[in-house]
Every structure is written in C-alpha cells, then in structure tokens.
Amino acid sequence: LDFLTTKEAENLLINLDNLPWEISQSGRRKQNYGPKCNFKKKKLKIGDFNGFPATTEFIQKKFKDIPILNGFRTIEQCSLEYTKERGASIDPHIDDCWIWGERIVTVNVVGDSVLTMTRFRGEKSKYNLKDVATYPPVIDEQYCEDENLENVVVRLPMPERSLMVIYGPP
C-alpha cells in the first residue's frame, strides 16, 4: 500500500507547496498541469502547458514499476487538497475516457481517505459514455455486468501514500 515512502511524501508536499496553487469553486486548493481539454469537441489545446513539474518526475518513473500501468501515459497531473475545514470534496462525476483512457490513476499523498462510488444514472451522452464501446480495452479483465447493482455503494479506502488505479467499464 505504501506507493510513496514517508520521506518521498514529505518532500513532495514541500515541493508542491513551493508551486502556485489556485482555489477551486468547491473550496479546495488545486494545481493543474496538462493541455486544456474540450470534451464536447474532443480537442486538446496545449496553451501554456510546457511539461509536468520536475518535482513530480519521480512519481512518473515509479508508475513504470507497476504492471497494471504498462503503457500508461499521463495526460494531466492534478494536485488537489481536500480539507475538512474548507468542506472540500469531489463532486460526483465520471472521468471522460476520451482523453484519460481506461485507467484513472490517483496517488493519495497525505491522510487516509475514502472514495465513494455509485452507479451513474444519467444520460449516456454525458461524459462521452456512448463512445466507451468504441475504445479498445487496455486491461484484459472480466467485469461484472449485473444490472441489479443499481443501488450499490462502493467505498474504496485510500490510505496515506497509496496508489489507486481504477479501470473497467463505467
């Protein structure tokens, strides 16, 4: 579970805090690195992006040691700070697989947390979900297709310094 060592996490936090942060609408501090995405038009614009911070390069290198991340390429790097004091949280959503691909990769640096997942009940036109069947799978696994799981809530523990890779159909 310890994807990062204690020292790596401590150094990462110091280095990230030396980079500029923005305040999001949901009350969290954030740092975004990557091209700008237009999900409706399925277009990328490089804009001001000129690479990921050098202080996070070691994480990209560590990804290469994880078999399930074979061939994975980071498109965007986000540093998100969630604090109880700000009431910050992730709004319910689906990450659009048009750009992110089948794998969503998260490194939880500080503090144990929980990611709560529920089945999406909206329109297939949202998040480009209607296109999912046209994307080739990257991970060769069997998935549960039971439609009776509609009211299931899954809580995924995210221990401090851990790596989480989410993949499979939405």
pLDDT tens, position by position, 10-34:
999 999 999 999 988 777 889 999 9
Cα–Cα dist 141/53, whole Å: 33
pLDDT digits (tens, 9 = 90+) for 49-95: 989 999 999 999 999 999 999 988 898 999 998 887 877 677 777 77
For residue 116, count other CB atoms closer than 10 A to its CB. Answer: 11
**Cα distances (Å, whole numbers) of residue 4 to 36, 58, 156:** 28, 10, 19
pTM: 0.85
